Structure 1
Amino acid sequence: MRALSVLLLSLSLCLPTLAEEEQEEAPQTLYYNLVPSLIGNLADDGARLKFFKADVALRVTGSEAEARIKHHDPLIRHQLVLLFSAQTSDSINAPDGRETLRQEALKQVQQAIDAEEGEPIVEDLLFNNLIIQ
């Protein structure tokens, strides 16, 4: 009986340690801001040039994914500037224009990263600021 109680006591002391080892930290959601802002001309016809300024954040999971996104920052910026430059102010200012642009930008970024890394690391794309002037 004494041996059984000693065995149970030793197991109860070891269980919290084993539980800590089994628990892995869940990957953390991170937001990578493209800095500086994306700035360029819109594809509007007319006498006056129109410009865009976009502050974009990319949502990724884990610091490794964030490091891979930092590595591909120039490629991502290039894709987004080309996409934004092809837009008109009317298409962006339409009722669902900004959301459509956001979804297309996410798709473009995911395709570019997929081509480089073999998987789409970026989970979402958010506009922190989008100005048309």
Structure 2
Amino acid sequence: MKTWIALLLVLSLPFAAMAQEEKKEGEGAEVDKVAYYSLVPALVGNFGAGPKLKFFKADIALQVKGADAEKIVEHHDPLIRNQLVMLFSQQTEETMNGQDGKEKLRQEALKQVQDVLNQEEGKPVVDDLLFNNLIIQ
């Protein structure tokens, strides 16, 4: 009987070591987990020139990797929002209409957010910027 118990213990040791390695790999994956930080409330403002005011409402999510990056973005939320509102207010109706115009605006917004975070943190932190909703009136 003691032989069987000893044999079972010896055979189970490699499985315990493998479980520890998998746990360590899982911890590393948690750091690189993709998260989306939504800028809430939505950005609202006016844009364009001319006698008639034009308004925008943008629901934006920022893609980051890891909880640390999400905390950095949350900390700099006011600065990011300011940068994006300034960018949107400089647009014209032509740059806000159409799929190509919106894609160029999205890329420019991502660049501006990354530039601001690069200045503040020394790294861009944000991997992508997504328009969940973009309304122009």
TM-score by length of structure 2 reads 0.85
Counterpart mapping for 1:35-74 below 5 A: 35-42=40-47, 44-74=48-78
- Structure 1 gaps, min length 5: none
Higher deviation after alignment, 55-64 or 22-31:
22-31
- Which letter maps to 1:66? E
The secondary structure found in structure 2 opposite 1:129 is: strand
Higher strand share: 2
Moved over 4 A (4+): none
Q: Give the number of equivalent residue pairs.
A: 127
| Corresponding position of 1:19 | 18
* Closer/same/farther in 2, CA of residues 10 and 83 from structure 1, 3 Å limit: same
Partner amino acid, structure 2, of 1:36: P
Kindly report which structure 2 residues correspond to 1:85-124, keeping only aligned pairs within 5 A, or say none: 85-124=89-128
CA distance in 2 between partners of 1:17 and 1:119 (Å): 39
Deviation at 1:116, TM superposition (A): 1.0
- Give the secondary structure class of the aligned counterpart of 2:71: helix
Per the alignment, residue 32 of structure 1 pairs with: 37
Per the TM alignment, residue 16 of structure 1 is displaced from its structure 2 partner at its CA by 2.3
| Structure 2 unpaired stretches of 5+ | none
1:12: Cα distance to partner? 3.2
Tell me, in whole angstroms, the C-alpha distance in 2 between the residues paired with 1:82 and 1:12.
Answer: 65
* Corresponding letter in the other structure for 2:17: L
CA distance in 2, matches of 1:55, 1:120: 21
Q: Normalising to structure 1: TM-score of the pair?
A: 0.87
Secondary structure in 1 matching 2:41: coil
**CA displacement at 1:95 relative to structure 2:** 4.1
**More helix by proportion, 1 or 2?**
2
Percent of paired sites with the same residue = 56
